[in-house]
Chain A
């Protein structure tokens, strides 16, 4: 189940910011990726409205924008949760049982990897090595890094974000 896009004042405000950002780049070549990165930083994800604006400003087709957005895993087409949980599934973390930690998080939040809870509180993703392999297995929630995790520590950690 995907939560509907909220079209409130806040969203409109963000769209305005995207417009301003786009002015900087108008007419420039080879900047699509940078523009999309900035747009996602502003809005949090890249709904079709935003992609249309980008296509118009850079004078490229919407399909080119869409195919670029879907190529890179960093871009989200759907809104993400307030707390973004990323479980490192890099080799060092995997060998130390990251899949079991991931399984426990899925079970606690009742969502699968790639999904967002219905209340838009948590979203859950797997990611590749974040460069903290010494602390494997590693989970990142927004900017907080948790290392040397075991599945049974999951509930207590999630409680910090209630």
Chain B
């Protein structure tokens, strides 16, 4: 093997690729070549580091120097200064907001320091397209251990003792599920990985599949050994082409190496994995719908029981787990159940990955021990709310979850605490909202989503969510009536009690939780016909405050409908008839002269 004195890791996750990390990588290759360093310095691609907002991100080892927002034009300077002269390029280092200090290593920054990476242990560290790198980081050692030293029952006992619960939303104890699948009668069984990742604001499964695909393959093979299955299927959403590509490469390499297929590691154990792509239906994340979709049918849920562990894919016992759940398995096998159970809290063991986004300074993926408080995540890791705005709420659990207000920020993050607060763990989306976000509008947003994605099989969900949405629409349009809140509450109760699958049963949660904590905002819309956050178009008008307007004309340039007029250096005015309420002028005016009323 070649020895290099330095490695440049270029993040090629989805976020960084979108902000242009491919040309950066090419620039590095060219520049290294030009300096005759090809034998000393190696350029590698890697998966998501978590700080996608600051992409394109790169890390240079052995020092672990982290450079962000790197452009191809910066590359000659980095090579010349850092790699030739050994001097750090200060201006490209990450700047810690709180202390205005430039940090050198990724592991030094607050966003990273407080994390504990178990499921994401290899993301951003190894090249996901090269199996040797996974193997060099303990990859497939857990599978070898299981096949040579443990009985299937011992594997299941270890997983059970670890206390691992499903990371796909429901939080069902993983070991128990494995036991059901093992005990189910039948010769043919299947292992399925749920990579549908439906929560519109979560992307941890995607990052794992893209950044460390082998960990999922290894865990599925372990599960296959434990329950007695020879075949596995990974169901990935169609929106994730890069994850599909990385999985295809990984499966191919694992087969070549004899880590998938017949007679794995010479033990006689047989297991292979196949990919299936989703086609854009959120409900297919629900396990029975997902199985129908793998079978090539419409992805409609069916009543449970029978649970998939008893009657699943093609009627056979089937174990179905989420991507992140699987990613925890190899470390549990290698480090032991006690190690895993020592992380987290009494009823929620281990870590959880969250995708923090919305109105927060550091957006990205974080993996934290269960029991960390929301405040720590939002203020210490996330760096707080930008532009000096007030925190209003944090949404967890996606369309099935709810909004948690400031008064509960010190709550530890656990399955049960989140449920008690009217939200849920869900798959790990965490969207922060500030004073400009209207809670009625957010409830409407989620209900539009679930209404759109309802498969239509059962009336409470199909018709009930539609009724609720109609009410929210009239409330945000300024046509709300007395009694609408009570109507929403009673519809919600009925839908929760009578819908067939989880989608319908949880669809009212965003409305219920916002009603619970932000009832006054609903009342303002209904009684005063006002949107306190200034977000609902029908209830606001744009005006220019003459005293503040300097007549610079910038707003005129961005207005798409020529609604703003005025002489240069004179106060301007908005023609309400023409105004489309697009908010462009509001964002553009450097003097805060535009008001929303």
Do chains A and B interact in one complex? yes
- Chain B residue contacts of A96, Cβ below 8 A: 358-359
How far, in whole Å, are A125 and B336 apart by their CA atoms in the complex?
47
- Chain B residue contacts of A134, Cβ below 8 A: 15, 51-55, 357, 363-364
Q: Which of A23-69 contact B (CB under 8 A)?
A: 29-34, 36-37, 67-68
- Chain B residue contacts of A128, Cβ below 8 A: 198, 200, 239, 282, 449
- Chain B residue contacts of A75, Cβ below 8 A: 279-280
How far, in whole Å, are A133 and B359 apart by their CA atoms in the complex?
11
Q: How many A-B residue pairs have CB under 8 A?
A: 158
What 1/0 mask marks residues of chain A from 138 to 161 whose CB sits below 8 Å from any chain B CB? 100000010100111000000000
B445 and A91 within 8 A (CB)? yes
How far, in whole Å, are A29 and B364 apart by their CA atoms in the complex?
41
- Judged by a CB distance under 8 angstroms, whether B552 is at the interface is no
What 1/0 mask marks residues of chain B from 333 to 353 whose CB sits below 8 Å from any chain A CB? 000000000000000000000
- Judged by a CB distance under 8 angstroms, whether B570 is at the interface is no
How far, in whole Å, are A156 and B190 apart by their CA atoms in the complex?
51
Q: Which of A67, A129, A147, A150 neighbours the largest number of chain B CB atoms within 10 Å of its CB? A: A129
Q: With A91-B358, A95-B433, A129-B200 known to touch, is A151 a contact of B584 (CB < 8 Å)?
A: yes
Interface residues on A, range: 35 or more
How far, in whole Å, are A90 and B200 apart by their CA atoms in the complex?
4
- Judged by a CB distance under 8 angstroms, whether B502 is at the interface is no
Binds A, one of B58-66, B78-86, B142-150, B291-299: B291-299
B582 and A151 within 8 A (CB)? yes
- Chain A residue contacts of B429, Cβ below 8 A: 91-92
Min CB distance, B171 to chain A, in Å? Answer: 21
What 1/0 mask marks residues of chain A from 94 to 119 whose CB sits below 8 Å from any chain B CB? 11110010011001100000000000
How far, in whole Å, are A4 and B98 apart by their CA atoms in the complex?
59
How far, in whole Å, are A74 and B559 apart by their CA atoms in the complex?
34
- Judged by a CB distance under 8 angstroms, whether B413 is at the interface is no
- Judged by a CB distance under 8 angstroms, whether B563 is at the interface is no
Interface residues on B, range: 35 or more
B298 and A67 within 8 A (CB)? yes
- Judged by a CB distance under 8 angstroms, whether B281 is at the interface is yes
B298 and A150 within 8 A (CB)? no
- Judged by a CB distance under 8 angstroms, whether B201 is at the interface is yes
Min CB distance, B564 to chain A, in Å? Answer: 13
What 1/0 mask marks residues of chain B from 206 to 222 whose CB sits below 8 Å from any chain A CB? 11000000000000000
B18 and A71 within 8 A (CB)? no
How far, in whole Å, are A90 and B448 apart by their CA atoms in the complex?
12
- Chain A residue contacts of B282, Cβ below 8 A: 128
How far, in whole Å, are A36 and B238 apart by their CA atoms in the complex?
13
- Chain A residue contacts of B14, Cβ below 8 A: 130-132
Q: With A75-B279, A128-B239 known to touch, is A91 a contact of B398 (CB < 8 Å)?
A: yes
B281 and A72 within 8 A (CB)? yes
Chain B, residue nearest A154 (CB):
B560
Q: Which of B207, B449, B561 neighbours the largest number of chain A CB atoms within 10 Å of its CB? A: B449
- Chain A residue contacts of B300, Cβ below 8 A: 71
How far, in whole Å, are A29 and B206 apart by their CA atoms in the complex?
29
Q: Which of B201, B239, B314 lies in contact with A133, CB distance below 8 A?
A: B201
How far, in whole Å, are A90 and B199 apart by their CA atoms in the complex?
8
13 contacting pairs across A/B (C-beta < 8 A): A72-B281, A73-B279, A91-B431, A92-B358, A95-B431, A95-B442, A127-B239, A128-B449, A131-B207, A132-B203, A134-B15, A134-B53, A152-B584
Q: Which residues of A approach B to under 8 Å, CB–CB?
A: 29-34, 36-37, 67-68, 71-75, 89-92, 94-97, 100, 103-104, 107-108, 127-136, 138, 145, 147, 150-152
